[in-house]
Structures are given as C-alpha cells and as structure tokens.
Chains A and B, each alone.
Chain A
Amino acid sequence: DAGITQSPRYKITETGRQVTLMCHQTWSHSYMFWYRQDLGHGLRLIYYSAAADITDKGEVPDGYVVSRSKTENFPLTLESATRSQTSVYFCASSEGFAGPFPYNEQFFGPGTRLTVL
C-alpha cells in the first residue's frame, strides 16, 4: 500500500535494551523525520534525513541513532532504552523541506507507542 508506515505500532521493552523502530515510505520522498510526542510537549524533532546516507540531529537526539541506506527506509534505534524514552514516536516524510509549498508538506505515519519499563 502506498504511504508511510511504521512498525511496530506498540512496543514494550526494558531499561537498557536496544530497540529499533522502523519507518517505510513509498513516495520516494527525499526528506524523512523522526519525532517524539509527549504530554505537555509539542512534537519534538529527534533526527532527520535529507537523502540516503545524509542525516542530521534535531532538537532531542541524545540516546538515539538513525541510518538511511535506502531512500524509503529510516529506522530509529534506541541503543540502551531509558524510562524517559517512553513516548509516542512519529515518522514523517516530505518531498522537500527547504523548498516552497507544497513540496515541504510533511506526511506523518501512524506512530509507534513505546513503553520502557
């Protein structure tokens, strides 16, 4: 199916474990983003990628690692999960980002709810 998908949709893990959240888009968008959403905060950018093999830090990158070997995939890894990383994680993609509308519209996935015990 076309669009942007995330897996798993729900994940429970323990402190110290490594967790990888997957994101896949079928539009061949250049830009992909990872956000976390917590009560009392707006969406906060973790990492983003302008193209395959190009990634950059966002607002809250500590404790996370990303890679982008293929345009359509953008996995997010928590190397050693902590309780403070309990959150809902959203992946998004856009055709452009620095460019004019409509190319900079972001399309969001359905989210992954992660609980770290």
Chain B
Amino acid sequence: KNQVEQSPQSLIILEGKNCTLQCNYTVSPFSNLRWYKQDTGRGPVSLTIMTFSENTKSNGRYTATLDADTKQSSLHITASQLSDSASYICVVRFNSGGSNYKLTFGKGTLLTVNP
C-alpha cells in the first residue's frame, strides 16, 4: 500500500534553534516529493519539491533532502522563528498507471516555536 509516514507527530523548540522533520514513504513508482507548510486556519503552501535526481534543495532557511534509495526525505529548518510554527506536510506523487498520477499525503508534523 502506498503510504507516507511523518515523524515526529509534534515538536516544540525554542526560537533560534534548528530542527529536522522526517518523511518516509513506500510509494512506488515515485514521481516527486513536496513539502508543504500549513499555518493554523489556512491552506497548505508549497515550500519545495524534490524530484528523483535531486538530493538537496534549499528555500531560504528550509532545506529538504531526498534519498530515493531508502525512500526517505527530511526538512531541516535553520535558526527557527516564531513564524515557523505550523504543520509541515510531506506529499508524494506517484504514477498510478499510464499517464495517471496520484498524491499520497502524510499526516503532518506540528511544529511549535516558543520564544
């Protein structure tokens, strides 16, 4: 079954600290992996997308990594800010046959950054 597992479920850190969120997937055949940030009461917003050939990609203080061999991705947040408090969702796109694609969403990691 195509699944996406995220860990931890929730995380509390102090402002200025770094953190790493994990995403493991069993989805196959893999197309791409996207990390979304969802602020409370709002829709998800894409942070970064990883394709099969990419190992690392940065977007400001956010750095995503992908290991397609072990089917693992991580999102590293550097020098956290209060505005980083949000849910971070990992989404994997896979080919479901022919030209058809589907998305599998993780349940998200809820990050709280305290002053």
A-side residues, CB < 8 A to B, are: 40-45, 90, 92, 97-98, 101-102, 104-106, 108-111
Contacts and interface: CB of A to CB of B under 8 A. Distances in A.
A92 B43 contact: yes
A98 B96 CA distance: 10
Interface of B: 4, 32, 34, 41-46, 49, 51, 89, 93, 99-101, 103-108
Dominant SS among interface residues on chain B: strand
Nearest to B3: A42
Nearest to B49: A101
A105 B49 contact: yes
Contact of B89 (A43, A44, A104, A110): A43
Given A42-B89, A42-B108, A105 B46 contact: yes
A38 to B, nearest CB: 10
